[in-house]
């Protein structure tokens, strides 16, 4: 990873999490204000100003997050992918929820500035959207964030949802004024929603295969039979090998069913005249690309398909781990590939093969 990649990637991660913390605090202060939870030594106006300030700074950090994602040479999102909901090829549902929440945040902020013109009633109606925005941001962070499985990110999400959930349930069950009504049914639904969120987070994003480009597949191993003659002396792979590589990744446009083909071409370092090819058949899903099938080819100048066979497992996020069983005649190799996605089109890593018979 280059210095610029590291800067943009870490900025995107940090700004996204800081924005989430600020939004959480803003929503918490807003709910506390509705319950008139405040100290006599802490004027209400100061709390109101804090609520608005936290929301504004949170939107600023969201802006930093969006810009960092745009200029990151690895993610390589286009402007439309970060501004138009649900069209991104990377986890479109969770990315889309984040974009929708961003627009809700702007609408709420603008309504606050226009409150003297639109009146309290309309301002309050629009302000209710804050909770929808918070839910969307939470789902976006958990569903598309690469840090979701870290202990510190999990702690932040648990504390945020538990805190906001408790304040909201308090708001629904304990009227702040004599004219306010209790809403036990809605409070119960909020509790069920929090429980459902916890189950989803544990069963989905908290699992190792959620953040993988390949959805953690494990394909059944098969061997493609080649010529029955034994490998000859022109075969540089027959006795096993280990090498580094650089190469490219190309992705076809999706068809009507969302199916795409990924073609990885790897040029070996020591075995400089030889290449390794990987072809993956994938389908776009809410979590990224789900791999349906894949093959690995070991090639030389003289034979473009010297060894060929099916992928047996693939996993990873920015670093992919691929295993395959390939064959040439009676010679069979177990191949292991570790590759790093430098950008949308550049890859590097290492590959090794060991004899299976």
Tens digits of per-residue pLDDT, 300-356? 887 878 899 999 888 876 788 899 999 988 888 999 999 887 755 788 889 999 986
pLDDT at 227 over 70: no
Can you tell me the mean pLDDT for 21-25?
Answer: 96
Strand extents, DSSP E, the chain: 241-251, 259-268, 275-285, 288-299, 307-316, 319-328, 331-341, 346-355
- Report the pLDDT value the prediction gives residue 41, as an integer from 0 to 100: 65
b/e map of 294-307 (b: 16 or more CB within 10 Å)? bbbbbbbeeeeebb
- Report the pLDDT value the prediction gives residue 220, as an integer from 0 to 100: 33
Tens digits of per-residue pLDDT, 194-223? 999 999 999 888 876 665 433 333 333 333
CA distance 313 to 212: 12
* Token reading at 330: 């009676």
* Token reading at 321: 């781990």
Lowest mean pLDDT across 123-127, 216-220, 231-235: 216-220
- Report the pLDDT value the prediction gives residue 74, as an integer from 0 to 100: 65
Residue indicated by tokens 């069209």 = 87
Which pairs count as long-range contacts for 177-184, CB under 8 Å and 24+ apart, including other chains?
A: none
Lowest mean pLDDT across 29-33, 50-54, 266-270, 316-320: 316-320
pLDDT at 232 over 70: no
Residue spans of the domains in the chain: they are 3-207, 241-355
> CA dihedral defined by 84, 127, 142, 320, rounded to 10 degrees?
20
Smallest CA-to-CA distance from 138 within 61, 192, 205 is with 205
Q: Any idea what DSSP says for residue 52?
A: H
First-residue to last-residue Cα distance in the chain: 37
pLDDT at 161 over 90: yes
Q: Is 75 helix (H, G, I), strand (E, B) or coil?
A: coil
Higher pLDDT, 42 or 62: 62
- Report the pLDDT value the prediction gives residue 343, as an integer from 0 to 100: 59
- Report the pLDDT value the prediction gives residue 231, as an integer from 0 to 100: 38
CA distance 181 to 173: 8
């Amino acid at each position: 990873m280059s210095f610029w990649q590291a800067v943009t990637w870490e900025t995107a991660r940090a700004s996204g999490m800081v924005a989430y913390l600020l939004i959480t605090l803003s929503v918490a202060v807003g709910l506390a204000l509705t319950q008139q939870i405040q100290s006599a030594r802490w004027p209400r106006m100061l709390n109101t100003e804090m609520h608005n300030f936290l929301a504004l700074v949170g939107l600023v950090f969201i802006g930093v997050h969006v810009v960092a994602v745009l200029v990151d040479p690895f993610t390589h999102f286009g402007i439309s992918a970060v501004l138009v909901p649900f069209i991104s090829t990377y986890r479109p549902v969770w990315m889309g929820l984040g974009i929708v929440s961003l627009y809700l945040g702007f609408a709420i902020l603008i309504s606050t500035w226009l409150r003297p013109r639109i009146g309290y009633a309309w301002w309050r109606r629009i302000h209710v959207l804050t909770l929808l925005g918070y839910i969307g941001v939470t789902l976006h962070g958990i569903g598309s964030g690469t840090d979701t499985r870290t202990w510190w990110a999990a702690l932040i999400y648990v504390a945020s949802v538990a805190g906001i959930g408790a304040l909201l349930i308090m708001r629904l069950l304990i009227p702040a004024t004599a004219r306010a009504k209790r809403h036990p049914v809605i409070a119960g639904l909020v509790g069920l929603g929090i429980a459902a969120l916890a189950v989803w987070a544990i069963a989905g994003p908290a699992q190792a295969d959620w953040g993988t480009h390949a959805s953690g597949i494990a394909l059944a191993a098969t061997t493609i039979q080649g010529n029955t003659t034994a490998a000859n002396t022109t075969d540089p792979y027959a006795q096993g090998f280990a090498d580094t590589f650089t190469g490219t990744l190309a992705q076809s446009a999706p068809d009507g069913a969302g199916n795409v083909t990924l073609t990885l071409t790897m040029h070996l370092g020591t075995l400089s005249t030889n290449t390794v090819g990987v072809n993956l058949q994938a389908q776009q899903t809410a979590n990224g690309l789900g791999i349906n099938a894949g093959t690995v080819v070991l090639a030389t100048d003289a034979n473009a398909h010297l060894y060929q066979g099916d992928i047996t497992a693939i996993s990873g996020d920015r670093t992919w781990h691929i295993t395959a069983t390939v064959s040439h005649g009676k010679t069979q190799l177990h191949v292991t590939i570790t590759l790093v996605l430098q950008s949308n089109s550049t890859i590097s890593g290492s590959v090794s093969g060991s004899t299976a018979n």
